[in-house]
Structure 1
Amino acid sequence: MFASLFILLYAAHLAADYPLQTDHQAAHKADRCVAGWRANLAHAGTHAAASALALAVAVTVLGHTIKALPALLALAWITGTHAFIDRRWPVARWMRFARQEQWAQRGGAAHVDQTAHVLVLLVAVLALTR
């Protein structure tokens, strides 16, 4: 169950982060204004919907048993942390702390961002399958 849930949630993450994310969301989700928060929350909502669909596939197609409360908590965790990470300052702060400023200037922030999201999914799947 662990592997299939992780693969489904990771596929949902990739879909929400790339083909389902609008140009406007990508450009403005870290802006420090109402429009930035709106773009950020709309993008996080896409993650919630895609992840919910992934969990529904796990239950209906693969026959996994996932209780409602743990599923809702996992969706809240995925959605909330995604919105937080995508504000961009947490990744920038981590890269400064880890002395990765030069790598950040060469595009490394995108890799750190995606790694953070994958670790979030790992925690969610561990919680769902414990």
Structure 2
Amino acid sequence: MFASLFVLLYAAHLAADYPLQTDHQAKHKSDRCAAGWRANLAHAPTHAATTALALVAVTTILDLPIGVLPALLALVGIAGTHAVIDRRWPVAHWMRIARQTAWAQNGGAAHVDQTAHVLVLVVTALALTTTS
């Protein structure tokens, strides 16, 4: 069950982060102003919606038992953590602590960002597996 959940959560993440994210959201979601928050808070629900579709697929097509409350908590958790990670300061902070400033200046932040999102999906898939 874990593998199926993780693959579908990851596919939903990729869809929400790339083809379903607007250029405006990608460019401004970390801006430290009201417009940045609006872009960020427009992008995060896209993750909730695509994840909801993935969970519907898991429960109907694959017939895996996922309760409504665990599914709702997963949606809130994924959208919420995605919004925080996408503000970019957590990634920048981590890269400073890990002494990765040169890598950050050469495109490494995008990899650390995606790794953080994937770790959230792993934890979510594990939680859904253990609560079902």
Q: Which TM-score band (shorter chain)?
A: over 0.9
Alignment of 1:76-87 (within 5 A): 76-87=76-87
Task: Work out whether 1:13 is the aligned partner of 2:13.
Answer: yes
User: Which runs of structure 2 are paired with 1:2-81 in the superposition (5 Å)?
Assistant: 2-81=2-81
* 1:48-75 per-position Cα deviation (integer Å, ceiling 9, x unaligned): 0000000000011110110000001111
Question: What secondary structure is seen at the aligned counterpart in 2 of 1:21?
Answer: coil
The number of equivalent residue pairs is 130
The residue type equivalent to 2:12 in the other structure is A
- Gaps in structure 1 of 5+ consecutive residues: none
Question: What is the percent sequence identity of the aligned residues?
Answer: 77
Structure 1 residue 35, shift from structure 2 partner: 1.1
TM-score (norm 2): 0.97
Rounded to whole Å, the distance in 2 between the matches of 1:109 and 1:74 is 25
User: Residue deviations 1:68-121, cap 9 Å, x none?
Assistant: 000011111100000000000100000000000000011000000000000000
Displacement of 1:32 in angstroms is: 1.1
**Structure 1 match to 2:107:** 107
Q: Distance in 1 between matches of 2:88 and 2:124?
A: 21
Alpha-carbon distance in structure 2 between the residues aligned to 1:31 and 1:108: 19
Q: How does 1:89-128 map to 2 (within 5 A)?
A: 89-128=89-128
User: Which SS does the other structure have where 1:65 is aligned?
Assistant: coil
1:44: how far off?
A: 0.5
Aligned amino acid, residue 114 of structure 1? Q
Match of 2:105, SS state, is helix
Q: Give SS of 1:66's match.
A: coil
